[in-house]
Chains A and B, each alone.
Chain A
């Protein structure tokens, strides 16, 4: 799976948009970009995933650059409950079992 790099930590003011970057310069053409988050003392929670096109769901938006070397997860109106560690993961379903390989993620702190 593609190696991803993320900032160690970020702060965001409550009510503002949180933009979490991820670099995945070694991603191959058939590797998806997945985002999960982990709130303290809970298991990771799936947020969103994409391949080439931008994606939006009820939780977030995912913007993938045209060269697919980086992406940004956008939480449009961050709340205190969005404080968590956010993981960006590259996943290849081409022939593997598709298990997730987590890095250390970005610790997002949403402040009042």
Chain B
């Protein structure tokens, strides 16, 4: 069990560019979650998958954001036409169904839009 891996750890991009982040969950976990965290705030829920199905999206997930989990394993989060307000830590977590035994979070991808 290598935990939840996120790549890259840091990303600096120019405003207007597209970025994509990857998350590799714990292999036996069928649920995968994306969160966003800005400085001084707790993580905010963006979306989650059960296997390959995206079951819920937060209002925070604008049309510029898209997430996929094509084979029910790793997931990608893409942000198109980045804006400075997108600068944040993007966290991925995984769990067994419903996360009763807790979620396991990755270390996150820190995005800076300049």
Contacts and interface: CB of A to CB of B under 8 A. Distances in A.
Contacts, number: 55
Interface in B90-108: 91, 93, 98-108
Given A93-B100, A99-B33, A43 B41 contact: no
Interface residues of B, number: 24
Contact of B98 (A43, A44, A49, A97): A97
A43 B93 contact: yes
Contacts of B101: 46
B21 interface: no
B43 interface: yes
Interface residues of A, number: 23
Contacts of B56: 97, 99
A80 interface: no
Q: Determine the main DSSP class of A at the interface with B.
A: loop
B98 A104 contact: no
A97 B33 CA distance: 11
A17 interface: no
B79 interface: no
B96 to A, nearest CB: 11
A68 B41 CA distance: 26
A34 B42 CA distance: 14
A-B pairs with the 6 shortest C-beta distances? Answer: A43-B105, A102-B42, A46-B102, A98-B98, A99-B45, A44-B105
